Amino acid sequence: MPAPSSFDYAIIRVVPRVERDEFINAGVIVHCPTRDFLEAKVWLDEARLLALWPGVDVADVRAHLEVFPRIAAGERTAGPIAQLPRGQRFHWLVAPRSTVLQTSPVHAGLCETPGSVSERLLARFVLPNTPPVE
């Protein structure tokens, strides 16, 4: 069994009206440098988003959210940010911003398999009606 590695993560948030400071969680970003791992997973609860912002263009929000995993994966079609080294992509993805899409503060943890961490965090903080996975 490999030794645990440290990882950093942030929650991706949709903030429909920045001035109200209301948000819904819509994804996670996990970075584990010792395992050469960077992954973003997104899932949008459209009903919750529409409850906070009835006039929102859900397709537009979804399109912007879907860029997070593409940048994390380093896809060439995701633009110049996706071509940066893994650590720089992570820092760009979690950089503070005052737009509709924001991230939480960065948190840290230890893991043996960072891919399973992404799934656990998505289930715990984003997906509806899922019990916490310990």
Give residue-wise pLDDT tens across range 3-35: 899 999 999 999 988 888 889 999 999 999 999
Look over the chain and give the mean of its residue pLDDT values, rounded to a whole number.
92
Work out the pLDDT band at 70, boundaries 50, 70, 90: very high
pLDDT (0 to 100) of residue 115: 86
Look up the pTM and report it: 0.92
Distance CA 124, CA 127 (A): 7
Locate 44 and state its tokens. 């949008």
Question: Could you give the percent of the chain with pLDDT greater than 70?
Answer: 96
